[in-house]
Amino acid sequence: MLHLPSIQICCLSDNKYKDSSSKTLKFKESNSRTTTTYKKGYLNKESKPQNVNLEISPHRAVSAVRLMRIEFGGAFADLLNEKGKGSGDNEMGYVERTLGFCTRDLDDRDLRVVTDIVGGTIRWRKYLDYLILSLCHDPNGFSRMEPLLLQILRIGFYEIVKLENPSYAVINENVQLAKIALRPGAGNMVNGILRKLVSLKESNSLPSPQVEGDDRAQARALATLHSHPVWMVRRWIKYLGREEAVKLMNWNNSDPRFSLRANRGKGFTRSELVSRLETLEVPYELSPHLDDFVRISTGMQSVIQDGLLKEGLCSVQDESAGLVVSIVDPQPGETIIDCCAAPGGKTLFMAACLNGEGMVTAIDINKGRLRILKETAKLQQLNNVVTTVHADLRTFHESNSITYDKVLLDAPCSGLGVLSKRADLRWNRKSEDMEELKSLQDELLDAASMLVKPGGVLVYSTCSIDPEENEDRVAAFLLRHQEYSIDSAERYISPEFLTEHGYYFSSPVKNSLDGAFAARLLRCP
């Protein structure tokens, strides 16, 4: 198994509690490398601007540096400012600064290809590394491989094995990238390994781990085949069984599907959103669960370029998150507090439901993300019912005496329900983190419970499918707080999402949505 350098990530699910010094978690990236060093010579080249190199595929160059940023985090902190994030021009400038050469700018098709290659390479990283190691024959050489060279190989392997792109083009362009970004010898190595891969693939002789032996050995083989950490596979087999665990991993490795919510706060209806999508020729499907939501599987780039998001007419939000708001059931005139609000999707949906009457207070510990939430609320014309408060929920009650009709705690969690959209999360979690997360969730639940009016509602939610973060946390809370009882979610959601205890739960496998959980709790009058 590769061991990459320890990367400190001061965020939990959705980057919540990013500034919390007492609860900073350290996650280690893990795959099959034992050590990684990187040389300033090729990561931070000070070379003078060169002429545009048309031999280099621009989307492969950008994919390589983006994969480096994702894997090594802070080493690439100077990449893009918030305003320019995702800009092709900025990305190409970064290629020049880090790899030392220019290539042509990205067009729209290139941007889509970058998204596909980066997302797929991250998802399949463990399996790709297994193949690379199998073809290298020298484990020591693989463990010492330069990070950029490894990314180029991963890209090539992913394109050949999973995308089934024309092998001659994949080999030629990745060889050119290795030669120019590193040295001629690196290009020769890429050429030899990719050609061997193509030969094995064409003869149906690709190496494959055998699912046999004891439970541990089988879990390791399944983890490699489906490219997930072994601890996750073992945990899912324990709770779901092997067949359901494999289905879940297949879902996580599939192309992510997205939902758009029409922002009724701005007077924009789902019908109007549908009309815009039809004009853009973006295929869509109406959500069967939520009136404001539309599903799309392709065409997000067209939606972005058309300005629908920039103008605040719609938001990207999974239906699983929208159903959490259904559990809260915001009504005009109510006072609601969202305890871990940023990035604000649920906050803004709840605010839109108030029809201009009432107030949603959004608390978050991250001042920067809270500022973005405030700006988005203004963009969506919801700033008259949204108030932001920069605070740590765990100490907020010390300076606050106000109680609320409804309190939503969308708690920091492992994010194990959103791995199809957040492929990198699977490599940024380890089993030990679960205990720290559960402790934090308990603290936050206790703090949130103090903000509820007598007779009011507390909703605890996560984007996790793990029972220890969900049902177990609610059960532990109810033992500590006799003044609360379960209010079944049956009045607010379809029966397919209702658990035997009256909680809301969306299953990626069963419901084809992100995994999510919510419990509606009543405080006695």
Catalytic residues: 463
The answer to whether the annotation marks 341 as part of a ligand binding site is yes
How far apart CA 290 and CA 420 sit, in angstroms, is 21
Closest Cα to residue 251, out of 518, 513, 525, 517?
513
How far apart CA 114 and CA 98 sit, in angstroms, is 17
Work out the burial of residue 75: count CB atoms within 10 Å of its CB; fewer than 13 is exposed, 13-18 middle, 19 or more buried.
middle
Tokens of 350: 């709840």
The answer to whether the annotation marks 410 as part of a ligand binding site is yes
Phi-psi region of 435 (alpha: psi -120 to 50; beta: other; left: phi over 0): alpha
Instruction: Output Rg (C-alpha) for the chain, integer angstroms.
Output: 24
The answer to whether the annotation marks 340 as part of a ligand binding site is yes
Number of Cβ atoms within 10 Å of the Cβ of 288: 9
How far apart CA 372 and CA 393 sit, in angstroms, is 19
How far apart CA 498 and CA 486 sit, in angstroms, is 13
Number of Cβ atoms within 10 Å of the Cβ of 189: 20
Which residues does 516 contact at the CB level (< 8 Å), separation at least 6?
318, 320, 321, 323, 324, 417, 461, 462, 463, 464, 504, 505, 506
Work out the burial of residue 449: count CB atoms within 10 Å of its CB; fewer than 13 is exposed, 13-18 middle, 19 or more buried.
buried
Answer whether 511's CB lies under 8 Å from 259's CB: no
CA angle 359, 363, 364 (to 5 degrees): 150
The answer to whether the annotation marks 238 as part of a ligand binding site is no
Half-sphere exposure in the Cβ direction for 117 (13 Å, CA): 30
Calculate the alpha carbon distances from 69 to 13, 64, 220, 368, 383 in Å.
19, 9, 27, 21, 35
The answer to whether the annotation marks 343 as part of a ligand binding site is yes
The answer to whether the annotation marks 49 as part of a ligand binding site is no
Closest Cα to residue 327, out of 518, 60, 110, 88?
518
The answer to whether the annotation marks 339 as part of a ligand binding site is no
Which residues does 351 contact at the CB level (< 8 Å), separation at least 6?
265, 330, 360, 377, 382, 385, 386
> By three-state DSSP, how is residue 410 classified?
strand
Tokens of 382: 């919801």
Tokens of 431: 């089993």
Closest Cα to residue 393, out of 12, 2, 3, 4?
12
Please give the annotated binding residues, written as ranges.
Answer: 340-346, 364, 392, 410
Binding residues for S-adenosyl-L-methionine: 340-346, 364, 392, 410
